[in-house]
Structure 1
Amino acid sequence: MTLTLLDQFLWIVIPYMTLTIFVVGHIYRYQKDQFGWSAGSSQFLESRQLKWGSNLFHFGIILVFFGHVAGLLVPEGVYSTIGITKGLYHLGAVWIGGGAGIITLGGIIILAKRRGGNKRIRRGSSASDIVVLTALIFVIVSGFTNTIGYAVTGGDFDYRTTIGPWLRGILTFRPDAALMVGIPRGFQIHVIASFFLFAYWPFSRLVHVWSLPLEYLKRRYIVYRKLNSENVK
């Protein structure tokens, strides 16, 4: 297959460019803005919608993350080896993936409604907050609609033989842009949008995802002390 310059730009240049920004941007942000690393909380302004929206979004996005790992980073042959047929995988991808998508979408809608509907929260929102919220909604909606389309067509398009090998090739520095040429447009849009979200990630409140792991890495030791009547004066 003859690849055009656009094909190579979309499926080789953009992924490496955005992943480089993702890595270098996080290092720069952590070195220059540690005090702004954690996301500012607006819980004191409104807590009920935040509780529901945040819990649904975080729970759903964790399921989505592991679903993407299972579908894209694990080769199709592994599933055949352990006895998971294409039909069984399709069933799990539709129901589990679809359910995770609904939970994540519901959470982000609640959070968007909260940020847009509460005047105090809206006034305190930065341009970056709006951009990252819009980008998340777009990526989630495009991914969810692709999952629905995958279900409707009976899994006719198999991303495990196209997007999966292409992504593994990107991560192992053996890119093959031909794998992405001709796949359904909706999947192409979702992939490109996801990479641009990764590029913007280090410069937004999304960096707070790493806050807890980094706090544990910075600790040299943890002391556990048992209190009793002798050491409590």
Structure 2
Amino acid sequence: MNGLNTIAWVVFPYVSMAVFVVGLLWRYRYDKFGWTTRSSELYEHALLRLGSPLFHFGILFVAAGHFMGLLIPKSWTEAVGIGQDFYHFIATYMGALAGIMTVVGLSILIYRRRKTGPVFLATTRMDKFMYVLLATPIVLGMWATVQNQILAGGHGYDYRETISPWLRSLFYFQPQPELMADVPFQFKLHIVAAFLLFLVWPFTRLVHAFSAPVGYSTRPLVVYRSRGSAARGTREPGRGWEPVGTPQDRKRRRTPTSTDL
């Protein structure tokens, strides 16, 4: 049992994080052309404009909640006046709202990708695999929250006494897998699914999460000029571009000679 705990809560997380970091660096170095979401907005935009904001804003709030709950020690939040009651309300109910936004948004995006013909044809096998791995930890996280936080009553399960210090111990390179022994199995499944997602992340379109359009605001402007006569400026146009019947055209006509008569 100790060996299994070591594999599940030490070896697998380290392997997952190593592949995640090295894979992103490799992908950015050797596959910049493929570092894209392969946008399908041209095929369908009504459902995309509804599902995409719901999913992205929801997942950002979920990520912020995980950062606060897992990486910030409990003593730090209590030191700044955030008591257990207030923290439980924010983490449970606001987190559940963010989770619902994420689930609804992802459901719309999956429905759109399956039911819109051109979008479905543009979906690769890796995309389908990615959607399964993306949906699994989200659904399991919602299940763990409802089962152990909302339905349990009171303050629910205090994961900041077990899961949080275990996760931080990995970053300290002093892993403590024994902290995960009595964690509810719903949370365990959620964690394993999350690390599995990080394991395949660099090889999917999810790499776009690390792309920020920083250069967009500083790139040169694209100047458009009309071909109309009012926008030509002072330079006379070439003969091949001037309209027929203009004064310039008439000036360039050959003067008749005796041989022409």
CA distance in 1, matches of 2:73, 2:49: 37
Query: Normalization by structure 1: what TM-score?
Result: 0.90
CA distance in 1, matches of 2:65, 2:40: 30
Query: Among 5, 13, 16, which residue is 2:14 paired with?
Result: 16
Unaligned residue ranges in structure 2 (runs of 5+):
222-232, 234-261
Per-residue Cα deviation, 1:20-62 (whole angstroms, up to 9, x for no partner): 0000000111111100101101111100111111111000011
Residue 55 of structure 2 aligns with an amino acid whose one-letter code is F
Query: Among 31, 53, 56, which residue is 2:54 paired with?
Result: 56
CA distance in 2, matches of 1:30, 1:109: 29
**2:211 counterpart SS class:** helix
Residue 156 of structure 2 aligns with an amino acid whose one-letter code is D
Partner of 1:229: none
CA distance in 1, matches of 2:53, 2:43: 17
Q: Could you tell me how far 1:224 is from its partner in structure 2?
A: 8.6
Per-residue Cα deviation, 1:100-119 (whole angstroms, up to 9, x for no partner): 00111110000011111112
Query: Among 79, 85, 105, which residue is 2:103 paired with?
Result: 105
Per-residue Cα deviation, 1:97-155 (whole angstroms, up to 9, x for no partner): 01100111110000011111112211210011101111111111111111112111123
Unaligned residue ranges in structure 1 (runs of 5+):
226-232
Query: Among 71, 74, 99, which residue is 1:73 paired with?
Result: 71
Query: Among 125, 128, 136, which residue is 2:126 paired with?
Result: 128
1:159 is the counterpart of 2:156: no
Residue 164 of structure 1 aligns with an amino acid whose one-letter code is S
Larger radius of gyration: 2
| 1:158-197 pair list within 5 angstroms | 158-197=158-197
Query: Normalization by structure 2: what TM-score?
Result: 0.80
Partner of 2:205: 205
| RMSD of aligned alpha carbons | 1.9
Relative contact order, higher structure (CA 8 A, sep 6+) = 1
Query: Among 141, 144, 148, which residue is 2:142 paired with?
Result: 144
Of all paired residues, the percent bearing the same amino acid is 38
Per-residue Cα deviation, 1:145-192 (whole angstroms, up to 9, x for no partner): 111121111233211011100111111211100011121000000001
Where in structure 1 do 4 or more consecutive aligned residues deviate above 2 Å?
221-225
Higher helix share: 1
| 1:15-54 pair list within 5 angstroms | 15-54=13-52
Q: Could you tell me how far 1:71 is from its partner in structure 2?
A: 0.5
Q: Could you tell me how far 1:223 is from its partner in structure 2?
A: 7.5
Partner of 2:85: 87
Q: Could you tell me how far 1:197 is from its partner in structure 2?
A: 0.3
Stretch of structure 1 that moved more, 62-71 or 85-94: 85-94
